[in-house]
Chains A and B, each alone.
Chain A
């Protein structure tokens, strides 16, 4: 059953972190990063891994994008926000107002 609430948009000033019941690790057997929670395993690609590694509860979305831009050529803020929105809807990521 999906909620009918409008999807919360992750704003640039908001501070995301991996939810307390979720842990990210490298799955050596399958060569991929995963987010682990009791009921779910979410496979995250390389880009998402780079974003999540910066979601430590201190950096805002804007700061995360800035850091990513220092490392990678093309970083779209929209993509980062979209990814965080998706992970938030899966209760893998939580946000607080910056």
Chain B
């Protein structure tokens, strides 16, 4: 039992001991790995052919910018949902419908770094309606619809650098949050010396309202805070449901060589934000409008082109200007990375990255401290609470570099530990470590099925590790990132499976499959196709010219296109193929590709309309074909376009079926 009695952090003394343990753990070879008997492990992850997994797993793609979907416990790879990066496999980001999703105030951005998927919640439990994910680099948040498994919306966050503390939702998905990892001058595009950091740079915490019916996001307000690095965030639950917690590091306000310069202070802060109060302040006119250019890209209706709305201006709450307190700093050792709230909503666990203990704050003690005025100082108006007044315990001997914590709802917490590459299980009652197991190798986030919710369904845990080294058949100097599946239903964690993933699975979420699978769409219903260039009847297939713009209204069915012979296209034309897949059978997909097209194929799901832009630059005969193996006569599914010189007078004609 390590209830804190003195002001001092005691862990430092134990540091040397940890290094020794870490060295042993880190060098442990696979032959010594702790796992169930191979047969028992195999049986636990075996899902018979044709049977379904119990859980959907959503793994972020990290630097791939995407989100991958897995079945758990079998680790069947199900699909990649493209989000922040173009995807030639599906035509996402290449088709005219999806391109506007990539518009930002910095132009068309076809890539990003996606870190933290978070499933929408109702009363603190994942509800499976949408999944949100953040873009780190050019700060954005995306919403993916879990009926079609498609990205439906991307919102840019202005005045933000590195949206890392994102995209976590509050207990009833009232808000999804964003946070600036790199503080930057809050005033947009300010051209100032970098060493004006402490004067000119500010952090921004974004609160994005989510429409409870449509899921549509709206940047409601930003809180302008001191120029630290805001690393991760989590909403409270139950009694703490009105609060959101963010970790900070670099309270040193370094702007160069952060490795050293931002690691000086023994404690940084967890920022506790009462979002309900902040929202009230905004509603009562305490906010002010600041400039901030950003794009909001979304779909309206069932089908069609994504809409890009350019916006300017954001409501801000500046802690220097507002008298009422709605945000507090909790001192926390040391450069904390993750911040996680236990299922009861009482414990706020900091991943004290450089600390030798895992600090655990108590929400009820925090409220008491606020009431008692246990404020040690104010920074830009923000009260800093007394460490001893909020801390509930420090978990000793957690290994080197604790990062992230999830919970099993049975009184235990599980923390990933990067440097010593292990997962430690500890008790929320005694704050003592009760079990530890290796991770292969260098673990970042871990994820427990439902482990961040009010009611964890904690059967399995996934460790998301950063290097594979010798774990699989070698595939060159750069290998795919691994994930490990553990059984945590018993007293001891047991390794079940180790599998390579896609991109850099940074964080993941899992949800019971039965909450999603019955709602998944099988087709786009033709009757509901509101795409402005849809083909609603095959008899309407046609080609239209308007100046240099040519639109082909084309239909596909197994195993032909209509029209499939087109003449009268000229060099210099911009041709749009609006392809409607006229099938209504689940999973019968057609695609189109044409020689020389300077983008990708597009794939079109049953009942869907998608558009490929083509700008032919040489005369000749251009074959096009269906890229999806759709039927026995798939090889017959082809056509020709004749391209003539810019000044030719070949009339525009199209036909099908008359040789």
Q: Real complex partners, A and B?
A: no
Q: Which residues of B contact A (CB under 8 A)?
A: none
